[in-house]
Structure 1
Amino acid sequence: MPVSAVRLNHAVLFVADLERSLDFYRAAFAMEVVAREPRADAAFLRLPRSGNHHDLGLFGVGAQPPRPRGAIGLYHLAWQVDTIEDLEAARTTLAELGALTGESSHGATKSVYAADPDGNEFEVMWMLPKAQWGAYEDAAPVERLDLPGEVRRWGGVRTAGELVPRDAQPPSVGPAPPSG
């Protein structure tokens, strides 16, 4: 039987300089440090609007040569935002930090890309409302992103609440909770 996961809960990265990486992720995402483990030179961070214990773990391992692009291993992480305006703001923030590396439209998602101080790539993406995926339901093109046009078209539309639709949730196990 396959694993019944509903989403990726958190990511953990090895970084050269823990404090430098903490500064970056605080500036880029306003993350707060929720726990530190000095013996492992590690810290665990939470996004401001997250209900999760931690969304990102960072383990300092000291300076090492960068992994070549395209080498086996993680390509990038993707952070979802709730509105297209949030994506526009993320683009501005990442550009101001000198971290922005690109942007694209994948049909159902609109994305900007960046790299942290160790070269770990990540994506910040906004997803169209599922009812609007249409031809993109089973496709992921890589096209030019017209962010101002997307803001005009989708401004004010919130989609992060569509992560796990009610009809996709597994049936409850055990006795039903008391009503009332």
Structure 2
Amino acid sequence: MPIDPVRLNHAVLFVADLDRALDFYTEVFGMTVVAREPRAHAAFLRLPRSGNHHDLGLFGVGPDAPARARGGIGLYHLAWQVDTVEELAAARELLLTAGAYAGESSHGATKSVYGADPDGHEFEIMWMLPRQDWGRWEHEAPVEALDLAAELHRWPGTPTAGTLVQDSAPAERA
């Protein structure tokens, strides 16, 4: 019998400078620091609308740690889902302002913008079409140009992320 998970709960990244990474993820993603583990030089962060204990763990390993070459074995990117296409457009603008924007594309059922954190970890911010509108993309994942203006016109205010948690007890910021 296979393991039967329901979703990826969190990701953990090794970073050169823990404080720099905390600044990035709290400022760009609005995450809060929910726990620190000084013995491991680690911090754990939660997204504002998440029901998880933490969504991201960061372990500071210092600037002399070896970097993974792009295209080498290992993690390619993390994908963070937003609830509406308007949130995707706002994320694009924030990434541009933060100097972290790396591109955008349409994958049919999902619309995405891409960025990278100060250590070069790539990430995707994505919005998913309503399930009933996947159509031919049920079994396809093209990489095509994103026409964000057209998506905003077609899907205004359409939430697709499911149940969101309101952050009732903000934790420490970096």
Which TM-score applies when normalising by structure 2? Answer: 0.92
User: What is the CA-CA distance between 1:86 and the residue it aligns to?
Assistant: 0.4
1:45-84 paired onto structure 2 within 5 Å: 45-63=45-63, 64-84=65-85
User: What is the CA–CA distance in structure 2 between the aligned matches of 1:33 and 1:118, rounded to whole Å?
Assistant: 19
1:116-155 paired onto structure 2 within 5 Å: 116-155=117-156
User: What is the CA–CA distance in structure 1 between the aligned matches of 2:23 and 2:11, rounded to whole Å?
Assistant: 17
1:31-46 paired onto structure 2 within 5 Å: 31-46=31-46
Which TM-score applies when normalising by structure 1? Answer: 0.89
User: What is the CA-CA distance between 1:148 and the residue it aligns to?
Assistant: 1.0
Say whether residues 1:101 and 2:77 are aligned partners: no
- SS class of match (2:93): helix
Q: Conserved in 2, the CA contact under 8 Å of 1:37 and 1:43?
A: yes
Q: Deviations over 1:92-144 (max 9, x none)?
A: 11111100101000000000000000000000000000000000000000000
- SS class of match (1:155): coil
**Equivalenced residues, count:** 163
User: What is the CA–CA distance in structure 1 between the aligned matches of 2:155 and 2:31, rounded to whole Å?
Assistant: 26
User: What is the CA–CA distance in structure 1 between the aligned matches of 2:81 and 2:88, rounded to whole Å?
Assistant: 9
Q: Conserved in 2, the CA contact under 8 Å of 1:79 and 1:124?
A: yes
Higher RCO, 1 vs 2 (CA within 8 Å, ≥6 residues apart): 2
User: What is the CA–CA distance in structure 2 between the aligned matches of 1:156 and 1:14, rounded to whole Å?
Assistant: 36
User: What is the CA-CA distance between 1:66 and the residue it aligns to?
Assistant: 2.7
User: What is the CA–CA distance in structure 1 between the aligned matches of 2:163 and 2:72, rounded to whole Å?
Assistant: 34
User: What is the CA-CA distance between 1:51 and the residue it aligns to?
Assistant: 0.9
Q: Conserved in 2, the CA contact under 8 Å of 1:66 and 1:119?
A: no
Mark the CA change 1:131 to 1:9 in structure 2 (over 3 Å): closer, same or farther: same
Partner of 2:29: 29
- SS class of match (1:137): helix
- Given residue 54 of structure 1, which amino acid in structure 2 is its aligned partner? H
**Structure 2, unpaired ranges of 5+:** 165-174
Mark the CA change 1:46 to 1:162 in structure 2 (over 3 Å): closer, same or farther: closer
Instruction: Please list every run of at least 4 consecutive aligned residues from structure 1 whose deviation after the TM superposition is greater than 2 angstroms.
Output: none
Q: Conserved in 2, the CA contact under 8 Å of 1:84 and 1:154?
A: yes
Partner of 1:85: 86
